[in-house]
Amino acid sequence: MLTTPDNDEQLTRILKRVRRIELITRGMVKETLGGQYHSRFKGQGIEFDDFREYQAGDDVRFLDWNVTARMDEPFVRKYIEERELTVMLVVDVSGSGDYGSQEDSKRERAAEVAAVFAFSAVQNQDKVGLILVSDRVEHYLPARKGSAHALRILRDILTIRPVSRKTNLAPALDTALERVAHRALVVLVSDFLTPDTVWEGNLRAVAAKHDVVAAQVTDPREWELPKAGRICLEDPESGEQFIVNTSHPAVRQQYARAISERQDALTRMLRKNGVERIDVRLDEDYAPAMKAYFRSRRRRKR
């Protein structure tokens, strides 16, 4: 559910955040990523669309003599450019995204990553759309061109108040499959704190039709437990609380092993389905990871 800020102070804070992210990502796109995005995703020519009557100034090479003879008037073939790309951003706005031990929350960093793709698309004259997801589609914004549309995407990510705090990417992937007719770039931005078995089949269907990349946003505190004695941990999506003795080495080792196994499983699942991955940590500059992705020439053969 998209909402308007409750007061002037909140509105000012959100607008400052939008402006900051816009400046960061626009600069990154303009200086380093724009050309790499273009070289990676530029289209491959033109495709036949329809016939129409010849008009003064039309290229005579496009005259179709069979149709011209049949209609007794000159007709030309009309083509459309294939190079135009649709970028569909699928951003996880479930409860776990509100967490952040650094300056930004995971939601704010997810907004930055989405903005990089959005402004890259704008610079390349491509369309960009948005799907915000918890365990349901919270918001859908059809793909359009232009800077104003990219800014709306950024604002929507930051201001939405999800109906649900849980996570299931399947509904958003189904929406992308249904709503995007032509070949597109689908960007999943999430912490992926959800069993991949729930949505792997949906991802497989999308990846069979579109180019898919997964940007995983994580916080360093999620990788290991601090040695801080007995602490209360709360699941941000279910609200369930746990008392954990973090001073016990076995507890920290068990947690680290569980995190490692979850990451390995995610890596295997994405690789199996031909999905590239960008690692985005709140305590690290994500620009090198984005540059590496845009430089990459590996494209899954279809």
CB environment 188-201: b (16+ within 10 A), e (fewer): bbbbbbbebeebbe
DSSP annotation of 237 reads: T
User: Considering its fold, how many domains does the chain have in total?
Assistant: 2
Query: Which has the closest alpha carbon to 97: 29, 170, 149, 169?
Result: 169
Residue 226 lies in a domain: yes
Residue 284 lies in a domain: yes
Query: Which has the closest alpha carbon to 121: 156, 85, 154?
Result: 85
Number of Cβ atoms within 10 Å of the Cβ of 64: 17
Task: Enter the tokens of residue 125.
Answer: 């004259």
My answer on whether 114 and 164 are in the same domain is: yes
* Residue 230 DSSP SS3: strand
Residue 142 and residue 149 in contact, taking contact as beta carbons nearer than 8 Å:
no
Query: Which has the closest alpha carbon to 93: 144, 37, 141, 29?
Result: 141
Residue 225 lies in a domain: yes
DSSP annotation of 98 reads: G
| Cα–Cα distance, 174 to 180 (Å, whole number) | 10
pLDDT of residue 150: 93
CATH code for the domain of 231: 3.40.50.410
Residue 158 lies in a domain: yes
Residue 17 lies in a domain: no
For 157, list phi and psi in degrees, rounded to 5.
-60, -40
Per-residue pLDDT in tens (0 to 9) along the chain, 302 residues? 776 566 567 667 767 878 888 888 888 787 667 666 766 665 444 555 677 788 887 777 778 888 888 888 898 877 655 557 899 999 999 999 988 888 889 999 999 999 999 998 888 889 999 999 999 999 999 999 999 999 999 999 999 999 999 999 999 999 999 999 888 899 999 999 888 788 999 999 999 999 999 999 999 888 877 777 787 777 776 777 778 777 788 878 887 888 889 999 999 999 999 999 999 999 998 888 888 888 774 444 34
My answer on whether 166 and 263 are in the same domain is: yes
Task: Enter the tokens of residue 16.
Answer: 């400052």
Is the sign of the CA dihedral 199, 200, 202, 207 positive or negative? positive
My answer on whether 177 and 166 are in the same domain is: yes
Show the domain range for 102.
84-295
CB environment 211-239: b (16+ within 10 A), e (fewer): bbbbbbbbbeebeebeeeeeeeeeeebee
Contacts of 192 (CB under 8 A, 6+ apart): 92, 214, 216, 266
My answer on whether 228 and 289 are in the same domain is: yes
My answer on whether 67 and 210 are in the same domain is: no
Q: End of a domain among 27, 60, 81?
A: 81
Instruction: List residues bridging with 141 in a β-sheet.
Output: 130
Residue 250 lies in a domain: yes
